[in-house]
Amino acid sequence: MRILAIGDIIGKPGRKALREFLPKLKEEIAYDVVIANVENAAGGFGLTRKVYEELMDMGVDIMTSGNHIWDKKEIYQFIDDTENLLRPANYPEGVPGRGYGVFKKNGIKFAVINLMGRVFMDYNLENPFKVF
């Protein structure tokens, strides 16, 4: 299985680049799964449902995030309804969303775990090395 992992997609310019280059990369490296960090995809901060759906339509299979996922309050309305949108697994208990998922593509099962470091963060996060 070939996995294409993409770092931060930042705002409209990041989405435009993704729209342009993802099909070319598909031809060039024949990836099976796209995993992208989307926490800054809507206006440079956060994620909206509209942008989430746009990224899905472009072919992003699994979306990871970090602290900026919460910057657009709209996220609270749909993060629990999505299985492919992950927030850091080392957030405290009770935080909406999920921190990992088990997925299947082309008959192959695989897991994705979303963890966030604690250095320079103002959040009370669990140690990412002790989560699993």
> Does residue 119 form part of some domain?
no
Residue 131 above 90 pLDDT?
no
Structure tokens at 38: 């989307």
Q: Which residues are catalytic?
A: 68
> Does residue 113 form part of some domain?
no
> Does residue 37 form part of some domain?
yes
> Does residue 66 form part of some domain?
yes
pLDDT in tens, 14-37: 999 999 999 999 999 999 999 999
pLDDT in tens, 78-120: 999 999 999 999 999 899 999 999 999 999 999 999 998 888 7
Provide the whole-model pTM: 0.93
Alpha-carbon distances, residue 60 vs 5, 41, 76, 118 (angstroms): 10, 12, 21, 27
- 79: domain CATH number is 3.30.70
DSSP 65: -
Give the span between the Cα atoms of 60 and 9, in whole angstroms: 11
Give the span between the Cα atoms of 42 and 71, in whole angstroms: 9
129 pLDDT tier (thresholds 50, 70, 90): confident
> Does residue 100 form part of some domain?
no
> Does residue 93 form part of some domain?
no
> Does residue 62 form part of some domain?
yes
DSSP 6: E
- SS3 state at 53: helix
Range(s) of the domain holding residue 29: 3-86
Strands (E), 21-107: 33-37, 62-64, 100-105
> Does residue 27 form part of some domain?
yes
What is the count of structural domains for the chain?
Answer: 1
